[in-house]
Amino acid sequence: MTYPAFEGQTTDPVDFAAPEPVSFDEPVTDDVEVEEEHTSEAPKKSSRRKAPARTTRLTPAQVRRVLAQQELISEQDENVLDVLAAVLGVTADKDELVVATLTATKAPAEAITELEALAGVTNPYEKALAAIGIAADRDSARRVWGLLGALGKVEGSIPAKEAQAGVKIAEAVDALDLEDLTALATVTELLGA
């Protein structure tokens, strides 16, 4: 059965013989002309505007919480603010403290809890061992050391050796008085813990 040829198609038989070999010694003489389109105009910018960044709206409850925290912090004395700033690792600026207290993790409150628990230990050997346990965790030790520094019980940086740091922490905790413990309790309340 023979099919009719389509437009532009020939009905000549196809020769499936091997093509002629190509010689790479001959120079290429095929010149190809390329039309380049030059325009003197700069590419046009899209007239679409970018969508504005999504904004998060505060709820009335969130605003009330911020205002209440601002009021609580503004009522505190400098000693409490210094301890709060030390435990959060920020400056004692009241606005900074409001933001830091509302966005803080549980780690600052845990440092105060560790310090209060250590203050409750009466046996000096148990206190020293518990303090060395705190010093074994460098992050926890730094937070506790910062608290003790803000309370004026230690100076300088924490000793590098765990045993020495633990003994210094235990000695500083022995020096805490009722005013210091009250300041720690107030800071815990401000942290919402």
Q: What single-letter amino acid sits at 133? A: G
| Alpha carbon distance 132, 109 (integer Å) | 19
Give the helix ranges, DSSP H, for the chain.
60-74, 78-88, 94-103, 107-119, 124-136, 138-150, 162-174, 178-190
Select from 155, 137, 145, 150 the least CA-distant residue to 186.
Answer: 150
- Domain boundaries, position 82: 60-190
Q: What pLDDT, on a 0 to 100 scale, did the predictor assign at position 79?
A: 87
pLDDT value at residue 140? 87
Task: Name the DSSP letter for residue 110.
Answer: H
Q: Is residue 186 part of a domain?
A: yes
Q: What pLDDT is attached to residue 135?
A: 93
Does residue 183 lie in a domain region? Answer: yes
Residue 17: its pLDDT value, please? Answer: 54
Tally of domains in the chain: 1
Q: Does 15 fall in a domain?
A: no
CB neighbours of 141 closer than 8 A, spacing ≥ 6?
Answer: 134, 135, 158, 165, 169
Does residue 137 lie in a domain region? yes
Low-confidence ranges of the chain (pLDDT < 50): none
What pLDDT, on a 0 to 100 scale, did the predictor assign at position 175? 92
